[in-house]
Amino acid sequence: MSDVVVEVTGLKKSFGPLEVLKGIDLSVNRGDVVCIIGPSGSGKSTLLRCVNLLEEPTGGKIVVHGTELTDPDVDIDAARTKIGMVFQSFNLFSHLSVLNNLTVAQRKVLKRDAKQAQEVALRNLERVGLSDKVNAMPNQLSGGQQQRVAIARALSMDPDVMLFDEPTSALDPELVGDVLGVMRQLADEGMTMLVVTHEMQFAREVADRVLFMDGGYVVEEGPAEQVIGAPQHERTQSFLARVLDPTHQGPSGS
Amino acid sequence: MAMSKRRRATLSRRVQYALFIVIALVLAFAADWTELRRSFFDVETAREMFPNVLTVAFKNTLFYTAFGFAIAFGLGLVLALMKLSSVGPYRWLATIYIEFFRGVPALLVFIAIDTAVPLAFGIAFDTASKAGVALGMAGGAYIAETIRAGIQAVPKGQIEAARSLGMTPLRTMLTVVIPQAFRIVLPPLTNELILLTKDSSLISVVGLTTAQYELTKFGRETLSQNPTMTPILIAGLCYLIITLPLGHLSRYLERRTGGKKISTPESTGLGVSA
């Protein structure tokens, strides 16, 4: 079974005179977990944000689940309901309880009735292990709990693909594991995932494929074992050396 | 003989206390208490003012203010949204309106609504409408800026999260941005309400029947018959009954919501707290 969920071709994105993405090709099959790694400023977050058009591409084509997002006539709001997004900074609606965070879009966008929305919400809250927080407000939760609620919120829309934009970068180290655990479980359940991350261990163990990006290009791409375990390109090697063994590097990484 | 700095500070504080007591005593002995009492708290005049100062004047001040605030809030919300619009002409219009009405005295607006506008447009306002419209037009400019700032203070990530869930821009505004902006602007909005309460006194420049008197006009009319400070003082105290609790409410709300500030998750690791 190899139907393509995300198909990106020749994607370019500039912010003013700065070209951040210089022609990216990427395709993600159903059930695939693809991790994007690379130094900061390499364009990996921008690439992810283009996949649900939070950033408007300057060129190229993006097709998600058969819908061309780069078509000017696309109903982007309808398309986005099928693309779950998890942000580095969680972005839970701070004025709504956990339950309402999970039901508001189901009711207002998908037009589910309150009862059904609540059922879906409770099911997804259980998936992330936070059933007891259903009535909590976001500011009463730890960062790790907020991020798991954010994942449950995205799942409640029954997306075809989930995008994760550095989901653990804003977390205290001891809370990272909870979130990665939920993501691993999602991957095991067969969710299609596109993950920008600095967690090499996670990428290595969970990803079907790893993309290494640098300077707006995909430099290296392949199975996790190959890209992280035995990188071919010099830039991938030096990046991984710096990330995996930071204490044995010179100041600029040689 | 040199004193230590600390001893000098103690001595200086004692001298200041002593000076205060001396001045207070001198004033107390020099003052003509009967005269002071007559002009500042003439019981006869005070008694004459009740109950009308509460049942008419106080009530009318509340009513004019509430009416004015309702219009100012509605207008302010529309102007704030116009000012944030992506369509140029809306932005320009809102800017012109806000700059104009923040820059001219509110008294001028009352005079315009009282005479110039009815003359020019052939509209006849009743008194309550004059007060409401004039207060609303003048206050709306300030409230618009307050609401605009509140909307812009809602973190961008909240909007991105809403859009990523498939909400339209309008739905995002109604469901996510405005409720959060409202919490942010509640303390400054309470301050606007205090300002409007005081500005409702400006209606006293237009012709009012006795049943339409608000506190300032009521105080002035009583003053013209009983030349003492008493009616003005009582009117002033009545304003304080409204403004002091509102001031406390504003500070309380500020501590509860604004005091916590809108923190970026990057800085606290705890997400957005309201």
Domains of chain B in start order, with CATH, are 43-268 (1.10.3720.10)
Residue B259 reports pLDDT greater than 50 = no
Q: Find, in chain B, the residue whose alpha carbon is nearest to that of A159.
A: B165
The predicted pLDDT at position B264 comes to 34
Higher pLDDT, B41 or B89: B89
Q: How many CB pairs under 8 A join A and B?
A: 101
**Cα distance between residue B22 and residue B29, in whole Å:** 11
Q: Does B158 contact A at CB distance below 8 Å? A: yes
Residue A2 reports pLDDT greater than 70 = no
Q: Find, in chain A, the residue whose alpha carbon is nearest to that of B268.
A: A170
Alpha-carbon gap: B257 to the closest alpha carbon of chain A (Å): 11
Which residues in chain A are classed under CATH 3.40.50.300? 1-78+178-248
What pTM, to 2 d.p., does this model score?
A: 0.80
Cross-chain residue pair B180–A108, CB shorter than 8 Å? no
Mean pLDDT of B200-206: 90
Cross-chain residue pair A109–B167, CB shorter than 8 Å? yes
Mean pLDDT of B113-135: 87
Mean pLDDT of B236-249: 93
Cross-chain residue pair A87–B180, CB shorter than 8 Å? no
Neighbours of A118 (CB within 10 A): 18
Confidence class of residue B101 from pLDDT cuts 50, 70 and 90? very high
Mean pLDDT of A191-206: 94
Confidence class of residue B271 from pLDDT cuts 50, 70 and 90? very low
**Cα distance between residue A223 and residue B113, in whole Å:** 75
The predicted pLDDT at position A159 comes to 96
Q: What is the pLDDT of residues A16-42, one digit of tens each?
A: 999 999 999 999 999 999 999 999 889
Q: Does B115 contact A at CB distance below 8 Å? A: no
Confidence class of residue B262 from pLDDT cuts 50, 70 and 90? very low
Confidence class of residue B183 from pLDDT cuts 50, 70 and 90? confident
Cross-chain residue pair A104–B175, CB shorter than 8 Å? yes
Confidence class of residue B21 from pLDDT cuts 50, 70 and 90? very high
DSSP state of B175: I
Q: Judge contact between B46 and B227, C-beta under 8 A.
A: no
Q: Find, in chain A, the residue whose alpha carbon is nearest to that of B184.
A: A95
- In A87-215, the DSSP E strands lie at 161-165, 192-196, 209-214
Mean pLDDT of chain A: 92
Considering A40-44, B19-23, B119-123, the range whose residues carry the highest mean pLDDT is: B19-23
Residue B47 reports pLDDT greater than 50 = yes
Q: Does B156 contact A at CB distance below 8 Å? A: no
Residue B117 reports pLDDT greater than 90 = no
Confidence class of residue B173 from pLDDT cuts 50, 70 and 90? very high
Lowest mean pLDDT among A105-109, B4-8, B250-254: B250-254
According to CATH, what is the number of the domain A1-78+178-248? 3.40.50.300
Considering B100-104, B112-116, B180-184, B207-211, the range whose residues carry the highest mean pLDDT is: B100-104
Q: What is the pLDDT of residues B147-165, one digit of tens each?
A: 999 999 999 999 999 999 9
The predicted pLDDT at position B1 comes to 62
Residue A203 reports pLDDT greater than 90 = yes
Cross-chain residue pair B265–A92, CB shorter than 8 Å? no
Buried/exposed B153-192: b ≥16 CB within 10 Å, e otherwise? ebbebbbbbbbbbbbeeebbbebbbbbbbbbbbbbbbbbb
Mean pLDDT of B49-56: 85
Q: Give the pair of three-digit tokens for residue A107.
A: 């009711």
Q: Which value, to the nearest 10 degrees, does the dihedral of the CA atoms of residues B187, B190, B196, B201 take?
A: -130
Q: What is the pLDDT of residues A70-83, one digit of tens each?
A: 999 999 999 999 99
